[in-house]
Amino acid sequence: MADGTTVVVKRMPVALRDDDALAEEHAFMDHLRAQGMPIPAVWSRTSGEFSYEFQRPGAGADAYRSAFSWSPYRSRAHAEAAGRMLARMHRAARGYDAPARPTRPLLAALCTDPVAAIEQHAAARPAVAEFLSERDWRADLGAAPRAVEASDLEPLWTHNDWHGTNLLWSGDEITSVFDFGLANRTAAVFDLAVAIERFAVDWIALRDSGSAQIHAEQLAAFLRGYREVRPLTSRERVILPEIFPLAHVRYELSEIDYFLSVLPESNRDNAEIAYRSYLMGHLHWAESSGGHAFLELLGHLASL
């Protein structure tokens, strides 16, 4: 900047994030920072067709700069540290009572019923409605995981994109947390499921070869680290493997929306990949033998 200050600038189309949307994210970040979470200061402004988010550089190294968002952690130590920090964030989020965010492109939200989620998203976003009207999505769901009863979960504002790529590191310790673009009012166990979905299953291998490697040792380390800071309730231990198959649903619908309504030119090829490979593909995998084995493992580790 003119005064010599260094900042990170993120430019986004207003159709993706306007002032109101960024204010939702920044208010949550401010709350967490006030509770001692290592989150860099942020601010924003809108000019013409774009919103600009400014962020102070966080402390630590960008150890996952070149990693894909669905790649595993570099080590069990990193996985355990990530679990501890996520639990710390969930404790810090208590008391933040802003309402859930409206349906937007690229946004996570709690899903307990895939049919209801698709219907609600289509009703709120015309581009998604048109896209789905051209497909027999109910038939495509097939034997998708059934709805989960989650009305007894305590609402909590959560990160919803917890992964090594959104953390800065010093050795095996996390020194900064950033990228709250998917943050929303969900539940702690939902955020935990999303975080596990981001690293424990090799979704790219599943897409390319039909078989998904499971990073079981890292999963065990991640949950061990989480429990050290915030032990799971008895209800959370039971519902974690039930809600895991649905953790990606709302985000994938919002990603389809992004490809169709935010990018300068409608990107229907990527929307189709999001629909077939990720939205439907992940749901179908959960009902496969490999998916059942993973959910059994997850249930076992959650119960320890």
CATH of the domain at 252: 3.90.1200.10
Could you tell me if residue 168 is inside a domain?
A: yes
249 lies in which domain range?
A: 60-302
Spell out the alpha helix ranges (H) of 125-187: 126-133, 137-141
> What share of the chain has pLDDT > 90, as a percent?
93
Residue-wise pLDDT tens digits, 58-98: 999 999 999 988 899 999 999 999 999 999 999 999 999 99
Could you tell me if residue 240 is inside a domain?
A: yes
Res 264 pLDDT > 90: no
Could you tell me if residue 177 is inside a domain?
A: yes
Residue-wise pLDDT tens digits, 109-126: 999 999 999 999 999 999
Position 251 scores a pLDDT of 98
Backbone angles phi, psi at 216, to 5 degrees: -65, -40
Could you tell me if residue 22 is inside a domain?
A: no
- The mean pLDDT value for 30-41 works out to 98
Structure tokens at 36: 């001692």
Res 199 pLDDT > 90: yes
Could you tell me if residue 77 is inside a domain?
A: yes
| Contact status, residue 252 vs residue 229, Cβ threshold 8 Å | no
Q: How many structural domains compose the chain?
A: 1
Average pLDDT over the chain reads 96
Could you tell me if residue 25 is inside a domain?
A: no
**pTM given for the model:** 0.96
Q: Under 8 Å CB-to-CB from 65, ≥6 apart: which residues?
A: 165
* 300 exposure class (CB count in 10 Å sphere: 0-12, 13-18, 19+): exposed
Q: What share of the chain is helix, strand, coil (3-state, %, to 5)?
A: 50, 10, 35
Could you tell me if residue 70 is inside a domain?
A: yes
The closest of 157, 181, 201 to 254, measured between CA atoms, is: 181
Could you tell me if residue 43 is inside a domain?
A: no
Backbone angles phi, psi at 264, to 5 degrees: -55, -35
